[in-house]
Structure 1
């Protein structure tokens, strides 16, 4: 008899075990390096797939239902075996310990990763390091395929089959050229609905910057707007050049816009109720990262 499809959702079962251990979805989410809404969504999806209620949520925390207690008991050995398999396969690839392969999304690669690597070089001057730059979707694919040991993404959605840890945060900024019509109104807050008919300069599909902005706009409006005048561009540099040419409203990391805003070349717009902060995640395969990846993780989280 074949296994049911839900049996493959081991990360969600692992998360459920953490809820049982900590008594809280929030604390379990923190242990897994994901946000509480993401953890709640994964657990709700697991309940739907199993067809039983697993948790009773209250202000004091999350309690297991009788069915949840049974699922936890049956899952423990399965999840432990999965961790053993993942750790064992990584151990077989011993050459990964002597080198470090990284893939990072643009904001992390441009503004944060160089400092992290410089710090790592001080203690491991002979370490073989290779770093690749991709959008968040490309980073996830590289980590999942085993091409890299560690990935850094800005995307709000973290795949359930990868381990993750929050290593920092970032904020998006909506910027226009100083001579752009909306620049004169930068003193007042725009409404999220005001953006729907504007020329928005967004990163390409698969970019964490794009996903973060679209998710924030949908939450603020209560629906996904059509954005008929939005333009997709392949890099932050291209967006900045188009913004300077008064081609529209650029949606980029505040880090990328900071110097131009400080110089007065660009003006940052304020939008009421638009949550543009986002966590930066490190991703890897298996329960624990490789030794060098773990060291870089500690450096990134400390800084």
Structure 2
């Protein structure tokens, strides 16, 4: 019997999750299949890798020795996929991902066309929901990976910046704030706000950047919270309030003159978009290729 990467990945996941059942869930395998692969690995080395009891499992001395090598093999496999993805133009398969609202509605549609031309044999399935929902679906193994608008801090999730963006103040046509080149924050806070809902990446980034500049969300008069960027734009256009949204999401309305884009004096809402997926997941090559495409291309030519 030869040593193989699949067994090392399973062993690493069992060690990371602390049980065969949790590892099976993370790997989308049955518990007996996970147990069998670990036993095969133990047979290969001729030693036990885990000390098992009725309540828990712990790494044996041999298992502790093997663990860093297993991790290095997983990291090397991921690096190999990234390096080889640039050569896989005839790659076939299905790319299934989740994207948070702004990314899914206004950013990715402009990038999937160029990606499709470069990789014509990859079909794309895109699910657009908010950042919190994407994280939940990844943790529950309903999605392989997602592109979100705010950094995710979770011990089981890998987060990697892949694109940059900036939030801007938007106001309706003929609003008093249009007279400013850069609007003082004291003027901004005089007016009612229409914002994205709690749990959205846009809302979270806005609040974090305001706090860094010395302001609080509590300083704002929030008259409405809406579940999509499109709804927020329509409400601002109707004069119900002002808002802070991704510059990429309001280009069309700004070009038509129905909304005005303004910068706030002394506050910069710069952010990244992030690819997120489970630490225990080896992404399919189609997903690795897409993440590499976002990270390495000059996306400004399409946005």
TM over 0.5: yes
Q: Secondary structure at the match of 1:252?
A: strand
Secondary structure in structure 2 of the residue aligned to 1:231? strand
Tell me whether 1:248 sits opposite 2:241 in the alignment. Answer: yes
Aligned equivalent of 1:257: 250
The partner residue of 1:299 within 284, 287, 293 is 293
Once the two structures are TM-superposed, the CA of residue 195 in structure 1 deviates from its matched residue by 3.9
Query: Residue 66 of structure 1 corresponds to which residue in structure 2?
Result: none
| Counterpart among 161, 176, 187 of residue 181 in structure 2 | 187
- Written as runs of structure 1 = structure 2, the 5 A alignment for 1:30-179 is 81=70, 98-122=93-117, 124-179=119-174
The answer to whether 1:271 aligns with 2:268 is: no
Q: What is the aligned partner in structure 2 of residue 62 from structure 1?
A: none
1:13-28 paired onto structure 2 within 5 Å: none
Q: Which residues of structure 1 form unaligned runs of 5+? A: 1-6, 11-74, 89-96
Residues 173-205 of structure 1 deviation map (CA, whole Å, 9 limit, x = unaligned): 111112223223x234312x4444531111011
Q: Choose from 200, 221, 232 the match for 2:225.
A: 232
RMSD of aligned alpha carbons: 3.3
Q: TM-score, normalised by structure 2?
A: 0.63
1:227, distance to aligned residue in structure 2 (A): 2.8
Q: Distance in 2 between matches of 1:198 and 1:147?
A: 41
1:231-263 deviation per Cα after TM superposition (whole angstroms, max 9, x unaligned): 211111111111111111122111121232233
Query: Is contact 1:154–1:280 with CA below 8 Å preserved after alignment?
Result: yes
Secondary structure, counterpart of 2:286 in structure 1: helix
TM-score by length of 1: 0.63
Higher Cα Rg, which structure:
2
Q: Distance in 1 between matches of 2:125 and 2:204?
A: 27
SS at match of 1:221: coil
Structure 2 distance, partners of 1:135, 1:76, is 41
